[in-house]
Amino acid sequence: MPKREGTLYPRAVQELIAKKSAVISKAQTFSELGMEDMARQLWATAGGHEERLAPLLDSLGHELEAAIHRISAAGCYRRAGDLTAAANLYRGALAGPLLAHTRPEVERHFRECLAELSRTSFRSVSTRRRQKPAANA
């Protein structure tokens, strides 16, 4: 991929960065305005863009940036309510070359995300289990 003069990245990467930055800033605005339904869709779209960016950066040798885009993707998916995707991406980011002060922060986000995932997934299972005998009775 040819790199544009005066930029850190080739054109295709640059364009994807611009596109997802616009989506993230829009999602942030809708969240601030309390328009959570619209914001969630935008966070999911932004998460998808970040997820695509990360391996492109890996392929260019920008491994640290790739890991940080995975963190951003995880954050976007978390805000979209897709905790499974978020947890996978935090795990992926932790496998990358993070700076020493960033790693504990990401580990904390990962733990919080797993706890949230466990709460939402297993609570609904236990609720169904509790409701089942009542329905049969």
- How many residues make up the chain in this entry? 137
Dihedral of CA atoms 73, 77, 80, 85 in degrees, nearest 10, equals 160
When the beta carbons of 108 and 119 are compared against another protein, the nearer one is 108
Over the Cα atoms of the chain, what is R_g?
18
**Which residues of the chain form contacts with another protein (CB under 8 A)?**
6-9, 14, 17-22, 24-26, 28-29, 32-34, 43, 46, 50, 64-65, 68-69, 71-72, 75-76, 79, 98-102, 105, 109
DSSP letter assigned to residue 4: P
When the beta carbons of 29 and 124 are compared against another protein, the nearer one is 29
Cβ pair 82, 55 in contact under 8 A: no
Structure tokens given for 79: 């805000």
Shortest reach from residue 135's CB to another protein, in Å: 40
Shortest reach from residue 108's CB to another protein, in Å: 9
When the beta carbons of 64 and 131 are compared against another protein, the nearer one is 64
